[in-house]
Structure 1
């Protein structure tokens, strides 16, 4: 099994880069995962990541992209919940890539 290393801490991940223990997640680790994904984190990225972490805490599941778009639109409005805007932030899939950075499991329904 592979691992991320940040600030002297080792965080194991699966073959796709998803953390095996979501409890070890922190913002420094998120920045490291984002860099590995070629993403420079901005306030907009953090908004999605924090939304996903809150969603997971409430429902104990990582949302698929369709649900992510719907719930982001409901909470933040059409501009931030727009699928194109989310793909601009996370080009390899807003649910899949953002969940990885958020330290969450791979969303159900993602291949």
Structure 2
């Protein structure tokens, strides 16, 4: 099973790079996932706005938010979300927010 190194610990990922246990997510793990899974060396305030919105929605509702809800809730336009997360809002942003692979994500 694939892993990501975070603070000296190997954290398990599924075969597509999503956390096996979403409950262990934290900011440092998001940074490690960003580097390893998305090729991002830095997370900007806009990255964090999207990640925190998605994570908060997941914690409250148990699901990933729809993309239009992410745009409205984070204040980041859709085009910019695609610029921030090379693999897109569902695959990339949700992965960094520690969510399981969203339904409908191919």
CA deviation profile, 1:66-100 (whole Å, cap 9, x unmatched) = x2223432x355xx2x2111111112111210111
Q: 1:10 is paired with a residue of what secondary structure?
A: strand
In 2, Cα distance between equivalents of 1:44 and 1:68: 15
* Alignment TM-score, normalising by the size of structure 2: 0.88
* Alignment TM-score, normalising by the size of structure 1: 0.85
Give the number of the structure whose alpha-carbon radius of gyration is greater: 1
Structure 1: 5+ residue runs without aligned partners? Answer: none
In 1, Cα distance between equivalents of 2:70 and 2:43: 21
**Count of residues in correspondence between the two structures:** 104
Aligned position for 2:45: 43
In 2, Cα distance between equivalents of 1:71 and 1:25: 19
Structure 2: 5+ residue runs without aligned partners? Answer: none
Aligned position for 2:62: 60
In 2, Cα distance between equivalents of 1:69 and 1:18: 22
In 2, Cα distance between equivalents of 1:38 and 1:69: 25
In 1, Cα distance between equivalents of 2:102 and 2:85: 14
In 2, Cα distance between equivalents of 1:58 and 1:85: 25
In 1, Cα distance between equivalents of 2:74 and 2:88: 19
Aligned position for 1:5: 5
Aligned position for 1:25: 25
Q: How large is the Cα RMSD of the aligned pairs?
A: 1.4
